[in-house]
Amino acid sequence: MTVVDDIKAQIDIVDIVSETVKLRHTGKNYTGFCPFHPNTRTPAFVVFPGTQTWRCFGQCNEGGDVFGFVMKKEGWDFPEALRYLAERTGVQLKPFTEENAAAKDALGQLSAVLEEAVSFYRQQMLETRAGLATLEYLQGRGLNDQTIKIFGLGHAPDAWDALNKYLTNKGYSEQLLLNAGLTSERDSGGSYDRFRKRLTIPIRDAFGKMVGFGGRVLDPEDVPKYLNSPKTDLFDKGRLLYGLDAARRSIRERDQVVIVEGYMDVIALHQAGFTNTVSPMGTALTEAQFRSVKKFTRRIILALDPDAAGEKATLRGLETARQTMDHDSEVRFDARGLLYFEARLKADIRVTTLPDGKDPDEIVLEDPQAWAQILENAKPIVVHVMETLVAEKDINDAKVKSQVAERVLPLIEDVADRVEREAYRQKLAHLIKVDERALASTASSSIRVRRKRQSLSDPFTISTKIKDIQSTNRILEHYCLQYLLQNPENLNYLDRSLRECELSEVSSEDFIEGDFLEAFKIIRAALDQDKYTHRDYIQTHMSETIAEELKPDESDEPVKDIQSEKVLSELVRTILRMRRNRLDEQLDEILYVQNSMAEVSEENSSLYKDLVTQQILIRKRIDDALHSSLSPGKGENRSIV
């Protein structure tokens, strides 16, 4: 992960924008008045948490990522915005060194050898007698061949060095296998396979990169039942959620995430169509795990085991979620007319009630509709906690009444809606058999204590968030700029090719990523000056951070002819795909603004329709260009698809 990726992983654009723009939550997005031009009638400024971008549909007609917003707001260049955001997120900026490059390469090798292990374990499952028994076990649990393949399930043979020999014969060092957590070190020296006689479950990070394995025993007498990779430079169980790479899109589309207990639960639920499901892999839920999902949704359902241990884990998870998820600060006046801020939870956290003795995978395999009903009946956090606490204690004990109230009242005060808060207080009073006025008095006292602790100089506490940075357009922008940096003059060729298709030349509007936008501006400026060679100008003005990000990987095969027809054609295709993707996003954004904002005037509604018509026309030209022939040189025609 690069420093730019790391920063984006630690921050949410909604937090940054909301410091200077009053945003209103509308559906999945946020709207407000644009801070970059005078406007008081129509809030045409929209922040899109799903893509971590912003756009003004008014006079500015501009947009970008979090770097672009900070640069425009502060009038900074990219390095200044980078330093500012790095300081806010605690990301350390390191100058490029050979050591840093070596560390990056080492992480790539770890991921590569883990991928090799996935192939080995799958081969063992399909081509050995012991492996076929594992396959039969999976099929016996209701998993089909497609699901088994998609999740990369495999079989670790009952041998001490089968994987070790396989990988070392392919040229991987024993030290690398140790570093990847595939082998363990013997006290007497040497190493042995960590996973043996187990079902193997590949674990990937949110972007699909291999980071480790989970292993489940096949013999009930073996222990432990589940064995995970040890902590490595890639694998940290407390920061990972199993299945998040496969669930991200579904979580965003459904605006809801379901958190279950184990691997098999996730796999079976995905097979049944409940693809917004993830798992903490048997560990207590952590703040890092909640931060990794709240970038996709603020609606969370916990579906952990119904036994006593699972119930305690659920309560701990609820408290962690409450601490991690954001709070709105509402302005209030006390009895003396003094201003204060009251925090309200910006999340919908619910808890399911599972049948005793049944896991989610068993329920969904028997009856998918039964699982859907369980999710539908999930209780709000407040109701679940108060009912759970009352069920396990002697509610006639005055001390217990006080303890339950102390646990539940802060949850009630988190609820944003005043009527809901009142209803929950009434329910709590009924459950613990006390006068509701006593609870109201207790709540008021608690609020006064919290007010004293708040700092009026900084009432809004900003929480960092893990953000998805591996978007398709970022990959395309990265690819395009890598080749332009190797030969900046190819930008002129791109401009000519686009003009022939009646499309505008390559411009800064084609780049949404702040760091890549800065890189493109430098390349364009290099071509617009004649004092230095293009390469010297770029080298002088490009920051080390961006230069390192765009440096080709050593594992990539070098391009022999950067001006070959193949490369030039691919560059044109890349720009066209970038534009097509961005146009699709903009169409969705325009339609969202038009359909969801009640304040849109008739004049602006007509403007939005004109914009949609214009975007569709440009989209057709791009599609025509992608399916036509472009000339890489005079008199030469070739297809670019």
Structure confidence by residue, pLDDT tens digits, 616-634: 777 777 877 776 644 444 3
| In the block, residue with structure tokens 């809606």 | 417
Q: Do domains 248-453 and 472-639 have the same CATH topology?
A: no
Report which of residues 632 and 61 the model is more confident about: 61
Fold classified for 248-453: Dna Topoisomerase Vi A Subunit; Chain: A, domain 2 (3.40.1360)
**In this structure, what token pair is assigned to residue 224?**
């432990």
CATH architecture entry for 472-639: Orthogonal Bundle (1.10)
Amino acid 168: pLDDT: 95
Q: Which long-range contacts (CB under 8 A, 24 or more apart) does 421-425 make?
A: 424/382, 424/383, 424/386
Strand partners, 7: none
Contact present, 574 and 566 (Cβ < 8 Å): no
CA distances (Å), origin 39, targets 36, 45, 417: 9, 10, 30
Q: Select from 217, 210, 513, 256 the least CA-distant residue to 376.
A: 256
Residue ranges covered by each domain of the chain = 3-89, 103-234, 248-453, 472-639
Hey, is 333 helix, strand or coil?
Answer: strand
- E strand or H helix at 478: helix 472-486
Contact present, 457 and 327 (Cβ < 8 Å): no
- Report the range of poorest mean pLDDT among 51-65, 274-288, 295-309, 461-475: 461-475
Amino acid 149: pLDDT: 95
Q: Select from 561, 488, 476 the least CA-distant residue to 529.
A: 488
Is the pLDDT confidence value at 122 over 60? yes
CA distances (Å), origin 218, targets 11, 127, 501: 42, 18, 61
Q: Compute the residue count for the chain.
A: 641
Residues above pLDDT 70, as percent of the chain: 78
What CATH number belongs to 103-234? 3.90.980.10
pLDDT in tens, 405-417: 888 888 887 776 7
CATH architecture entry for 3-89: Alpha-Beta Complex (3.90)
- E strand or H helix at 221: none
Q: Which long-range contacts (CB under 8 A, 24 or more apart) does 591-597 make?
A: 592/27, 592/29, 592/46, 593/31, 593/44, 593/46, 593/57, 596/26, 596/27, 596/29, 596/31, 597/26, 597/31, 597/42, 597/43
Contact present, 257 and 300 (Cβ < 8 Å): yes
Amino acid 552: pLDDT: 66
> What is the identity of the amino acid at 200?
T
Please give the model's pTM, rounded to 2 decimal places: 0.58
Average pLDDT rounded to a whole number, residues 219-232: 90
Hey, is 477 helix, strand or coil?
Answer: helix
Encode 277-301 in three state secondary structure: EEECCCCCCCHHHHHHHHCCCCEEE
Hey, is 179 helix, strand or coil?
Answer: helix
The rounded distance, in Å, linking the Cα atoms of 501 and 479 is: 22
Residue 597 DSSP class = -
Structure-derived torsion over alpha carbons of residues 123, 129, 132, 136, reported in degrees to the nearest 10: -170
Residues above pLDDT 90, as percent of the chain: 25
pLDDT in tens, 426-484: 888 888 888 877 777 665 555 444 444 333 333 222 222 222 323 467 888 888 888 88
Average pLDDT rounded to a whole number, residues 34-46: 82
The rounded distance, in Å, linking the Cα atoms of 232 and 401 is: 46
Amino acid 463: pLDDT: 25
Contact present, 349 and 318 (Cβ < 8 Å): yes
The rounded distance, in Å, linking the Cα atoms of 282 and 224 is: 13
Q: How confident is the model at residue 289 (pLDDT cuts 50, 70, 90)?
A: confident
pLDDT in tens, 66-113: 999 998 888 888 888 888 888 887 777 776 555 555 656 788 899 999
Residue 237 DSSP class = G
The rounded distance, in Å, linking the Cα atoms of 471 and 596 is: 25
The rounded distance, in Å, linking the Cα atoms of 525 and 504 is: 18
